[in-house]
Structure 1
Amino acid sequence: MFFVISKLLWALVEPFNFLLILGLVGVLLSFSPRPRLGRRLCIASLLLFGIVSFSPLGPSLLRPIEDRFPLPAANMPAPAGIIVLGGALDEDLTQSRHEPVLMALGGRVTEGAVLARRFPTSRLIFTGGSSSLHPSGADEAAGVRELWTELGIDPARMTFETKSRNTWENALFTRALIGPKPQETFLIVTAAWHIPRAMGVFRKLGYHVIAYPTDYMTLGDTRDYSWLNLGTAGLVMFQYALHEWIGLAAYHLTGKTDAWFPAP
């Protein structure tokens, strides 16, 4: 139920959808007995679109999330396992085109292979099923397995959890699959903007975890606020930031994390 509600609510408040619906309602009302309200809604839609696209609002909201957990030291001891969260491959395109197709922020999968080479004694674990309300039957894990094998990783080192639909289920179902021991440490590999929530969930379920953020969207310096880098990029960053801040609050309020904003 949590999964379905979260998907439906996000579909309504997702910024691009919300602004588009607001503008369309304004256009329709412009040809109704309430044209003034329609014009106001159209103007509000354009103004809000301009603010989130051409102001530093998106980077300002996203930077604190991405900067929350730094990369671990290069000389860190080998972990017991490297847990890569799903959402990196487009499963439908992968199935249709018969080759792994990475999404725009799919670097976590290739980074997982890099880490597997760096720590040859560590297990490589992928966790993620379909996050769609209407799954097509395509399997992201199959594409990940193919990609990792082509990158030279021994399939005997790989473990796949394929039923989870969100971050909570990633941690819950993976725990049932691998049975982490108290003395074992696991790397959590996912997008930097998703690391705080993921770390909070895995900690809540008893894992000893170290964050390994990937797929940064912000540069971490003043260039994040340059007008040259804003536009559609600003809107995209705002969408990811809003999604994560809402997710952090929802997960804490429902007891899935122990902190509003998990920290190192």
Structure 2
Amino acid sequence: MVFFRRLILMLQFFTRIPIKYESDITTEDFGKALALIPIVGLVIGGIMGGTYMLLLYIFSPKICAVIVLIEYIFLTGGIHLDGLGDTFDGLFSYRPKERILEIMHDSRVGTNAVLAVASVLILNSVLLTEINGSFTLKVIILFPVAGRLGSIVGAALSTYARRGEGMAKSFIDCCGKLELFIGIAMYVIIFLLVGLYRGYIIMIFPIITAVILIKYFSRKIDGATGDVLGAVCELNQTLFLMAAYAVLNYRGW
């Protein structure tokens, strides 16, 4: 019961999938539920994969790949892309920590945010359309899972950077070694079940990149915020697609 309650909570929070369910939830429940976010990634990837297969009856594979990336934005409400933009606005202002956090909290969108989001979306689109077509469906299913693994790693390996409360504080405070282990285990199981056999070599890659990213961001602001976790998620997805392209398109296999 706790498992399904937490899973539904994560689906409600991190997607725009209409799920009508209400229950009493504690801060600890909310924070620990982040361990289940790879399943949220699987749901998103599964919907995108199904859409991709249906669209193949009408459009070319490259057009289908671009359309499902647009679908991704609507499925998630751009929540992680928003974090990516805010993080880049703050970090690349080259201001002191407190000012960086203020800029990240500002609802206005700056130049660095636009450049970061546009760059990631363009790169994702190009990579997905150029990946070996035999593996495209499986990569579409897996890359949201790999991205969301980054959020667990980020929460487990950081402290909350802001003073006082914040939406991400419960994730960062309550996501510990056990939640990290559960999240990684779920990621590995999903990867194996999807069966990207030729791509098993890249399974470890998102874990490594997530650690590097969260360490980099944490050094800048002495911790992490919800925006940072979103940025790690989006960047992890793009880096996973880059690794998938490099491995799956390598002609030496």
Do they superpose with TM above 0.5? no
TM-score by length of 2: 0.28
Compare CA radii of gyration and give the structure with the larger one: 1
Structure 1 or 2: more helix by fraction: 2
